[in-house]
Structure 1
């Protein structure tokens, strides 16, 4: 069944990827009408999340954020499909680093880097960073259930010189690279919710105490990785800019969980600046109020 689903879907995805951008966004508007107006995909989850995270906004203001979010979400997923056939010139024009020199500055430091980002704006096109660095560029991700689509996503990323590694295999790979002296930028989108059973640390996120992923910090401290935060902003439809923000250069001396907390504060700033570009369909605050006794040391990863 997995192969059948892939064979039936792939030609449709390929045709979408060949659309010029103007036609792509017209198609996105059509899809958004059905997703938002007709089917109401996860609309209640989005509304609940917006009410939790943005209580300072009026209901009408949150509805405005909601509508803009669904438009952006459809754009983003079609942009992800467009990556199948996008040219280097196109993606470099549409996803720009405001301070590319930071990439080379951290290469000269001679240590691998934990690059923290959020599910905000276009985390998919962030992999174009691989075109700008001599280090390996590796994104930590959750494997797709359909192995054929998972292979497709890997092939798409490889076109941009980026590699994907499953979260459950990432520790072994990063440790191996460290032992072999292989330098890399490791991308972590760590803002979503871990399984409650694996939660090792809780922190405030948009006003509520929630469990948070700590794997990036754990690996940075254990393997002495420099830590950067990538702030992505949507300039206009189909165009983004990213700013690399140094967080920690000597993680071993930083108190446990402080790196994770600093990262969350940066994510919050992003959300408050333009909330319509955050990924609101994820039930991020589902474990709020369920805190139990947790370990207070960074010994077990939560990727």
Structure 2
């Protein structure tokens, strides 16, 4: 079953990217105009995030989002056969806070959001750092697709750690000098064990794991914003969120990250994954003890 999936995808990946983008344009149009994949979720999310914009402006963002959404898949497909030269040409870093951290002997965490194209970022990072580069990910239920993405995501040297077994998966690396990438805007599975604060003006739960791991190990944290220069070319803006997280009060690192994330989304709104139901959990006064916002929790 795996090779029935791998072989046609690999053959497609051999096509020039310009040809693949023609396919992407067609699929994006079909996704928006015909299938309407999660169209209501996307538009509802944009209304929450940008109430000041007109419906026409929000639809423009949505259409650009769908183009980036499909491009993300097409560019990921291309990675099956792309070499180092192709990958490093299309994704560069605006700065490098990693060298000094590595030379000091410390580990490092990256906190990023669902900004396109995170798959190219995963592929390129082992070329840009001396760290062992590890990524926490959510395994796919389809075994053939899981095997395909495991191959794709590890072929340049990245190590994948399943979120479902994170504590055990990281044990073999606990004494090594690693860089751990965490998509920190994930919706928590249990909102009763989350941090709550305003995100785009609405109470929103966020997972505690990225902050708690950094604080326990006093691991420096770097925030990452991925943005598109032009089609197929990306840059990453890097900002040190905290060099010594254990010195911060609980919740402060998450507050800093959410502020960074919201600013990044406002700068490039079509680059974030709006098809997530990010505000599906309504606020309840019983969550007040979990509130970390600097403002008062809703009554």
Tell whether the structures are fold-level matches, with TM greater than 0.5: yes
In the alignment, which residue of structure 2 is the partner of 1:207? 201
**How large is the RMSD of aligned CA atoms in angstroms?**
1.9
CA distance in 1: counterparts of 2:170 and 2:220, whole angstroms? 13
Does residue 281 of the first structure (1) align with residue 260 of the second (2)? no
Helix, strand or coil at the partner of 2:118: coil
CA distance in 2: counterparts of 1:210 and 1:79, whole angstroms? 31
Does residue 15 of the first structure (1) align with residue 18 of the second (2)? no
Does residue 95 of the first structure (1) align with residue 91 of the second (2)? yes
Per-residue deviation, residues 266-301 of structure 1 (Å, max 9, x unmatched): 110111111011100010110132463476599xxx
CA distance in 1: counterparts of 2:267 and 2:82, whole angstroms? 29
The answer to whether the Cα contact below 8 Å between 1:99 and 1:244 also exists between their aligned partners in 2 is: yes
- 1:238-277 equivalences in 2 (<5 Å): 238-277=232-271
- 1:68-217 equivalences in 2 (<5 Å): 68-100=64-96, 102-127=97-122, 128-174=124-170, 176-178=172-174, 180=175, 182-197=176-191, 199-217=193-211
The answer to whether the Cα contact below 8 Å between 2:191 and 2:205 also exists between their aligned partners in 1 is: no
Q: How many residues align structurally?
A: 291
Per-residue deviation, residues 46-101 of structure 1 (Å, max 9, x unmatched): 0100001111111110011011111110001111111111111011010011113x
User: Which region of structure 1 is more displaced relative to structure 2, 184-193 or 286-295?
Assistant: 286-295
Per-residue deviation, residues 124-171 of structure 1 (Å, max 9, x unmatched): 111111112221100001011122221221211222211111113223
Unaligned runs of 5+ in 1: 299-303
The answer to whether the Cα contact below 8 Å between 1:138 and 1:165 also exists between their aligned partners in 2 is: yes
**CA gap 1:93/1:197 in 2 versus in 1, 3 angstroms:** same
The answer to whether the Cα contact below 8 Å between 2:188 and 2:194 also exists between their aligned partners in 1 is: no
Per-residue deviation, residues 156-206 of structure 1 (Å, max 9, x unmatched): 12222111111132233445533x2x0111000111311235532111111
Aligned partner (choices 59, 64, 73) of residue 55 of structure 2 = 59
Aligned partner (choices 25, 43, 49) of residue 21 of structure 2 = 25
User: Which region of structure 1 is more displaced relative to structure 2, 276-285 or 14-23?
Assistant: 14-23
In the alignment, which residue of structure 2 is the partner of 1:233? 227
CA distance in 1: counterparts of 2:138 and 2:95, whole angstroms? 29
**CA gap 1:69/1:297 in 2 versus in 1, 3 angstroms:** closer
User: Which region of structure 1 is more displaced relative to structure 2, 128-137 or 56-65?
Assistant: 128-137
The answer to whether the Cα contact below 8 Å between 2:5 and 2:144 also exists between their aligned partners in 1 is: no
1:104: how far off? Answer: 1.1
The answer to whether the Cα contact below 8 Å between 2:111 and 2:182 also exists between their aligned partners in 1 is: yes
CA distance in 2: counterparts of 1:12 and 1:291, whole angstroms? 52
**CA gap 1:198/1:16 in 2 versus in 1, 3 angstroms:** farther
The answer to whether the Cα contact below 8 Å between 1:154 and 1:163 also exists between their aligned partners in 2 is: no
The answer to whether the Cα contact below 8 Å between 1:199 and 1:212 also exists between their aligned partners in 2 is: no
